Amino acid sequence: MHSIFYDRAKDADHAIRLASEPGAKFIGGGTNLLDLYKSGVEKPLRLVDISRLALADIDALADGGVRIGALASNSAAANHPLLRQRYPLLAEALLSGASPQLRNMATVGGNLLQRTRCYYFTDPAFAQCNKRAPGSGCAAKDGFNRIHAILGASEQCIAVNPSDMGIALTALDAVIQTKGPQGERRIPIGEFYRLPGDTPQYDTNLAQGELITAVDLPPSPFGGHSHYLKVRDRASYAFALVSVAAALDLHDGVVRDARIVLGGVAHKPWRAVDAESVLTGKPLTDDSLHTAAAAAVAGARPCRHNQFKIELAQRAVVRALRIAGEKA
Ligand code: SF4
């Protein structure tokens, strides 16, 4: 029997103190952590309940951006007028994830921290998983690896990040606000997630006891021309085989700036910087779209069962950009 301590935090500082010991975990909506706890993947020694902290507000910032409290539910964020108006890409991504019931419970901070759905990670019957048990091996490498990474993987882990929201936030240059034992930090989302390397047990660069308090979105030039495209095995309640957050700043038909971020292909949201450069300064044409799509998957190294993702990702990039460009 695995015994566990449960504490309800009175405020952020109390939560951070309680969670600073190894083995402690924050719990907000609990939609991922409780599943993994029940299946024996996560074995926290202490759960620090942060669900009643005052961190759920969504507010306009003076610079034209928006601050989303870490405990805002995915539903609240997806339906908030400020976010729908200024960042429709984020609303689309949120509404493509999970089910309405889960979105009502899941928090924005928790969504950023959800763990991979690699079958071998979520089922402890498989002994080999470097993410769950460092040094044990990777069952996916020689196993069934249809849903796994084609970019940025390592010998130790080929898992992918499962978040839709994180893909859109990366395209929107979000900044993660945290508070921890060492003080406060503002972490650009590009520095928040990690590639697996030799330490796939770490998904992010958060320290023990570091609490996500909010996500800041800067003013965006991409509000008018963006699209989140998610390709999956069934129409809802499924994770992405490939997804694309496409955002364009168009002026007189010419791309002034672009963001192309892929999901379902890597251990973190995969920003395709070279593909963005292909488009910048040019009109959107069939030629530029296909050149950008090829650049987005340059260096891809598929596994035995997921070669199809290379073609799928390129088609998804072209389609997402086309739809983004045609929006009025
Ligand atoms: Fe574990 Fe990563 Fe290998 Fe999956 S891909 S079995 S998460 S080490």
Q: Give residue 19 CA to ligand 1 midpoint distance, Å.
A: 26
Q: If you average pLDDT over residues 139-157, what whole number do you get?
A: 98
Quote the number of domains for the chain.
1
Residue 319 domain-assigned (yes or no): yes
Residue 253 domain-assigned (yes or no): yes
pLDDT for 223 beyond 90:
no
How many angstroms separate the CA atoms of 74 and 165, rounded?
Answer: 9
Residue 25 domain-assigned (yes or no): no
Residue 261 domain-assigned (yes or no): yes
SS3 249: strand
Q: If you average pLDDT over residues 203-219, what whole number do you get?
A: 98
pLDDT for 267 beyond 90:
yes
Q: How would residue 1 be classed by pLDDT, with cut points 50, 70 and 90?
A: low
Whether residue 151 contacts residue 271, with contact meaning beta carbons closer than 8 Å, is answered with no
Q: Give residue 131 CA to ligand 1 midpoint distance, Å.
A: 6
Residue 88 domain-assigned (yes or no): no
Task: Provide the CATH number for the domain around residue 289.
Answer: 3.30.390.50
Q: If you average pLDDT over residues 235-264, what whole number do you get?
A: 96
What are 8's strand-pairing partners?
49
How high does pLDDT run on average in the chain? 97
Q: Give residue 59 CA to ligand 1 midpoint distance, Å.
A: 38
Compute how many other C-beta atoms are within 10 angstroms of the C-beta atom of residue 195: 16
Whether residue 67 contacts residue 58, with contact meaning beta carbons closer than 8 Å, is answered with yes
Q: Give residue 313 CA to ligand 1 midpoint distance, Å.
A: 22
Tens of pLDDT, residues 250-266: 999 999 999 999 999 99
C-alpha of 240 from chain center: 11
Instruction: Name the residue with higher pLDDT: 88 or 235.
Output: 88
- Work out which ligand 1 atom sits closest to the CA atom of 128: 6
Per-residue model confidence (pLDDT) at position 3: 87
pLDDT for 328 beyond 80:
no
Residue 303 domain-assigned (yes or no): yes
Segments of 28-84 assigned E as strands: 46-49, 58-60, 66-69
Which has the closest alpha carbon to 317: 293, 298, 284, 297? 293
How many angstroms separate the CA atoms of 323 and 107, rounded?
Answer: 29
How many angstroms separate the CA atoms of 118 and 272, rounded?
Answer: 23
- Which residue range(s) make up the domain with 260? 226-326
Tens of pLDDT, residues 56-75: 999 999 999 999 999 999 99
Instruction: Choose the residue to mutate in 117, 120, 144, 203 for probing ligand 1, maximizing ligand atoms within 8 Å of C-beta.
Output: 120
SS3 111: helix
Residue 310 domain-assigned (yes or no): yes
Which has the closest alpha carbon to 20: 209, 182, 213, 185? 209
Per-residue model confidence (pLDDT) at position 149: 98
Q: Are strands 242-251 and 226-231 parallel, antiparallel or unpaired?
A: antiparallel
Tens of pLDDT, residues 70-126: 999 999 999 999 999 999 999 999 999 999 999 999 999 999 999 999 999 999 999
Residue 262 domain-assigned (yes or no): yes
Percent of all residues in the chain with a pLDDT value above 70, rounded to a whole number: 100
